[in-house]
Structure 1
């Protein structure tokens, strides 16, 4: 995967959710968990 900052990773994840790209969502979600981030606002 291309190296991304935490902010870029979260933004990419949100964009993937909007577009419905299942493989990309899965890949980004795994990376977000690995970094211990919360991708969605509460």
Structure 2
């Protein structure tokens, strides 16, 4: 999934978390974020 830039990926992930209805999409985005080594997760 190299279609999105890192910034777009993080924004999409945060938007999906806010909506909370797309569990599968959240999982896919989180897996891609982890694979790229990004850290957008709040502690």
TM category (shorter chain) comes to 0.7 to 0.9
Q: Point out where structure 1 has 5 or more consecutive residues left out of the alignment.
A: none
How many residues are treated as equivalent by the alignment?
42
Structure 2: gaps spanning 5 or more residues: none
Instruction: Let me know the Cα RMSD of the aligned residues.
Output: 1.6
Displacement over 2 Å in runs of 4+: none
TM-score (norm 2): 0.84
